Structure 1
Amino acid sequence: MSRAALLVLADGRFPAGGHAHSGGAEEAVKAGRITDAESLEAFCRGRLHTAGLVSAALAAAAAAGADPTQLDAAADARTPSPALRLAARKLGRQLMRAARATWPSGELDALAGKFPKGAHQPVVLGLAARAAGLEPVDAAYCAVYESVSGPASATVRLLSLDPFDATAVLARLAPELDRVADRALEAARRAVGEGVDVLPSASAPLLEIGAELHATWPVRLFAS
């Protein structure tokens, strides 16, 4: 195993399509919920403890060997918004392309065949980590970091926020990323033996509502 593979997988320049998505930040900026670094931090913290936790648990469970088909169904059940389900599958499809080219894997090939329009991104992320020789904890960390780094990067573009301030937000959230990754890993380990129903289902209704509103916009900078 090369732990450096985690740097490749978590790198924002890895061609997994995340640069085209704001994680709900674009709608939040327009609604006035994100206006500066302080409100960005609050938004990212809320996203981390809800969508981030769920994604990290799904990714860690996939990396630990849980049934990816069941995990995909669990992801669907935990994503009420059709717009967010569509975005997750688009991201999953793009990540699948990148992962199969980088770390060829029979498990990735099988999942791609079963979900030709894309499996949920966290499930693909977990199998990609597994194919790269990484551990479930690595998949969890990758997912929690993505949950906050995407909105932070998008807000720099949306508000012309100082990138130093956005990076400082991520640094301040680092201890909470550790705690959420630990919770996700514990749930993933249980899911392997007890089934996917034990995975967290933390909800963020405002993110779901915002995603549906965002999907109706005729002009937008980000896909979600």
Structure 2
Amino acid sequence: MTGLAVLALADARFPGGGHVHSGGVEEAAARGLLTDVPSLREFLHGRLRGAGAVQAVFAAAAAHAAHRAVPRGHWAVLDAELDARTPSPAQRAASRAQGRGTVRSGTVAWPSAALDDLIAATPRPHHPIVLGVLAATAGAAPREAALTAGYLAISGPSSAGVRLLGLDPMAVNAVVADFAADIAGIADTAASTAGADPADLPAPGSPALDLLAESHDRHHQEEVRLFAS
């Protein structure tokens, strides 16, 4: 059932709330930075190497911790370290909103003591940490949790590109498939550091995404937007 659980977590139909987040695509499109499939490809590449890599690292670390029944305080530390690696308040809010939605579905599908401890330590945990705990509860290894996080980092934004720009979905799906080796490499790196002290986990930055997220948040308060982030 491990493979099925990982597929379910990566499925756009999983009721975790990911469909309302564009990962910066909406703001980039509004600014004219995204207009076609090649520009979306470049955007997804940067997103995967920045925010996607961080998400994969923390999903793997959470899965590693869930397999080892760590003290409850560890979850608060892990969550705080991801907070520190997310400079944008808008991105932090989006991650916690998606995490909360995933918790609601996860407690029904994959209840566990680790998930209970995580929620007790931080009632609104970041999405990658929830993802890692759920994957581990279903029997997945840290690398599988990281693969799922890496894929989600670009699959949602790619779908947003289709909806916002009217791009050819076949061409966009081909772009996502072409990132398979990149996602695998990020998952390998994440798995290799999964057992590290949370303070020592990698912290690749993506300042352009931070700026887009903050701009989107301001505009979302002034006008109707299709996506929450």
Q: TM-score range by the shorter chain?
A: over 0.9
- What TM-score do the two structures reach when normalised by structure 2? 0.92
Q: Secondary structure at the match of 1:216?
A: helix
| Aligned positions of 1:45-60 closer than 5 A | 45-60=45-60
Structure 1 position 138, deviation (Å) = 1.0
The answer to whether the Cα contact below 8 Å between 2:75 and 2:117 also exists between their aligned partners in 1 is no
Distance in 2, Cα, partners of 1:23 & 1:136 = 23
Amino acid at match of 1:50: G
- What TM-score do the two structures reach when normalised by structure 1? 0.94
| Aligned positions of 1:151-170 closer than 5 A | 151-170=157-176
Identity of aligned residues (%): 49
Question: Deviation string for 1:182-209 (max 9, x for gaps)?
Answer: 11111213x1xxx112211111111001
> Are 1:146 and 2:148 matched, yes or no?
no
Q: Which runs of no fewer than 5 residues in structure 2 stay unpaired?
A: none
Q: Secondary structure at the match of 1:104?
A: coil
Q: In the comparison of the two structures, how many residue pairs are matched?
A: 219
Amino acid at match of 1:139: A
Query: Which residue number corresponds to residue 30 of structure 1?
Result: 30
Distance in 1, Cα, partners of 2:199 & 2:121 = 22
Distance in 1, Cα, partners of 2:94 & 2:2 = 30
Ranges of 4+ aligned residues in structure 1 off by more than 6 Å = none
| Aligned positions of 1:15-94 closer than 5 A | 15-65=15-65, 67-94=74-101
Structure 1 position 79, deviation (Å) = 0.5
Distance in 1, Cα, partners of 2:189 & 2:118 = 26
Query: Which residue number corresponds to residue 104 of structure 1?
Result: 111
Q: In terms of mean alpha carbon deviation, does 157-166 or 107-116 score higher?
A: 107-116
Query: Which residue number corresponds to residue 222 of structure 1?
Result: 227
Query: Alignment RMSD, CA only?
Result: 1.2
Question: Deviation string for 1:42-78 (max 9, x for gaps)?
Answer: 0000010111111100000010016322110111100
Q: Which runs of no fewer than 5 residues in structure 1 stay unpaired?
A: none
Q: In terms of mean alpha carbon deviation, does 6-15 or 107-116 score higher?
A: 107-116
Amino acid at match of 1:102: A
Distance in 2, Cα, partners of 1:12 & 1:89 = 18
| Aligned positions of 1:109-120 closer than 5 A | 109-116=116-123, 118-120=124-126
Distance in 2, Cα, partners of 1:113 & 1:79 = 22
